Amino acid sequence: MPDSFEQANGFDSGNPGDAQLDADGDGLTNLKEYVRGTDPRNPDSDADGVWDSADQAPRDAGRPKMNMQGRHLYGFWYLDNGNVSWDAGIDTAVTGFGAPFDRPVTGDWNGDGKTEVGTFRQGQWFLDNGNGQWDNGIDSAFDNFGAADDIPVTGDWNGDGKTTVGTYRRGAWYLDNGNGQWDGPGVDTVIASFGAADDVPVTGDWNGDGKSQVGTYRQGTWFLDNGNGQWDAGIDKVCHFGAVGDIPVTGDWNGDGKTQIGVYRRGTLYVDTNGNGEWDSGIDAVHTGFGSPDDIPVTGDWNGDGKSKIGMWR
């Protein structure tokens, strides 16, 4: 810490040990307070009722408070142009679609070859028409597919070039036929058992047949379905890519028509560029220039060039 900072806050500039102390008892060391630009003598620097250690925007009292997951999510999207670094004025920032409690989803809702944004809100879906803002009566909104605690998933289940919705419920999958409402088994698709209750659902066109298949991520291990909606040992693919706590991401990184895997780890993106489902040091890609540690990663082909890019929901 600079001497000027220490002196301004009443610390001993001759004592290197005070960097690891917590002067205001908010859970952040004095050094972390300096790095974040917060007040080391005040546990709530912006006086918004959230202590600095739990506040993802500790210097902005106008941001929404924490949501049910304990994260500050503001409903902002940041979509990369493909170089995996933030380019102000070039990359896309969407600030008018979604609310703090929403879960982000992406898909090509209209079949134009580009991925649009959307959100899932406790059983309700809101899907953008492509302009990055909510247009009442124009954008799609429906509330008859999924329950409040379901995890939203999206994919092109029938290969018609359009992305449709679905949900994952503790090992069971419910996939819409495209009309945005639950029509029951036999019309909509039900996959009764692929994955465990606490797995993270993932979707992608693993085999390049033009349809999305299901899969799950379990603490660094991926289980990818061959398309029949059931686990076939020795036939379905098992990949080891990532670590406990990583957030799984999927995309067609190289434009070959098949979906590959990747993980996001607190600001760093690891991508299986060669598509073999394993981490190959020096071959697979590591990107550190897009996103912050507490962002939720999203992926999509924002510009229609056939390759998936990263984005962030904040």
If pLDDT is split at 50, 70 and 90, which confidence band does 54 have? low
Question: Pick the residue with more confidence: 207 or 89?
Answer: 207
If pLDDT is split at 50, 70 and 90, which confidence band does 150 have? very high
pLDDT digits (tens, 9 = 90+) for 250-271: 999 999 999 999 999 989 999 9
Question: Pick the residue with more confidence: 96 or 282?
Answer: 282
Q: Where are the beta strands (DSSP E) in 192-308?
A: 200-204, 213-218, 221-224, 237-240, 247-251, 260-265, 268-271, 285-287, 296-300
How far is it, in rounded angstroms, from Cα 297 to Cα 271?
A: 13
If pLDDT is split at 50, 70 and 90, which confidence band does 49 have? low
Domain locations along the chain = 3-54, 77-313
Contact 269, 231 (CB under 8 A): no
Supply the pLDDT for residue 212: 98
pLDDT digits (tens, 9 = 90+) for 125-148: 999 999 998 888 899 999 989 998
Range 228-234, long-range pairs (CB < 8 A, 24+ positions): 229/173, 229/189, 229/191, 229/194, 230/191, 230/193, 230/194, 231/193, 231/194
Top-level class of domain 77-313: mainly beta
Identify the three-state secondary structure at position 24.
coil
